Amino acid sequence: MKNNFEKLFTALLILVVICVTLLLLLVGVRGLHSLTRALIDLSYFGAFLAGILGTSSLMISFFPPQIVAFLMGTPNLGFNPLLVGISMGFGAGVGQYLHYYVGAGGRFLFSEKRRASIEKWKTRVSRYGPLLIFLFAVTPLTPDDLIWIPLGMMKYPKLKALVSAIIGKTVMLTICSYGGYYGIRIIQKYLVGLGG
């Protein structure tokens, strides 16, 4: 019974990831502008949602949360950059975590022999797994799916993976938010200098 529920839950989460990816593809650039505006209007909850949307698409981020964090960090919007980074980091960690279930679902596509060989990697990864997940999460240019799908396939401990992802995404997005807070002034000064 538990195994059937786990398979159903995994299939549902895989469907969510696929739907988010397709939705962001269909929205296009003009729609992303409207989506960004709507999320900013939702304040810190919008930051959380932006984190989820930005990291839950497969392989390519069609809606990078770093850009929204930068925009929400600008002083004229009145948000606290630290709270933006924390809200968005939590959402981004959860969004990335959905890919764990893509790997867990893909596990059933392999033979028992292949699953056993994947399981051997679990002991190798268990020692440095949290650091590896953190490093992938804190680096904005790496597709985190490269690590999340195999983690799901080897049934890596879920809570350890989720916490590492949230910490890494929070650090990265807080830096981006403060980049907006301090960086926009530098950009404005530069642009004024070009115009005058």
- How does pLDDT run across 108-136, given as a tens digit for each residue? 777 777 777 777 777 777 788 889 889 98
* pLDDT at site 24: 66
Q: Is the Cβ–Cβ distance between 126 and 156 less than 8 Å?
A: yes
Report how far apart, in Å, the C-alpha atoms of 47 and of each of 6, 80, 116 are.
Answer: 30, 11, 40
Could you tell me the pLDDT band of residue 193, with boundaries at 50, 70 and 90? low
153: tokens are 């396939």
| Percent of the chain residues topping a pLDDT of 90 | 31
- pTM, 2 dp: 0.81
Domain count, the chain: 1
Could you tell me the pLDDT band of residue 11, with boundaries at 50, 70 and 90? confident
Query: What mean pLDDT do residues 6-34 have?
Result: 71
Q: Which domain holds residue 147?
A: 2-195
Q: What average pLDDT does the structure give for the chain?
A: 82
144: tokens are 């985190």
Q: How many CB atoms lie within 10 A of CB 113?
A: 8
pLDDT at 195 over 60: no
- Residue with token string 């999340």: 148
Distance CA 135, CA 128 (A): 11
173: tokens are 């997005």
pLDDT at 29 over 60: no
* pLDDT at site 84: 96
**Among the ranges 9-18, 25-34, 41-50, 116-125, which has the highest mean pLDDT value?**
41-50
Least confident window among 51-60, 94-103, 129-138: 51-60
> pLDDT for 148-178, tens place per residue?
888 888 888 889 999 999 999 999 999 999 9
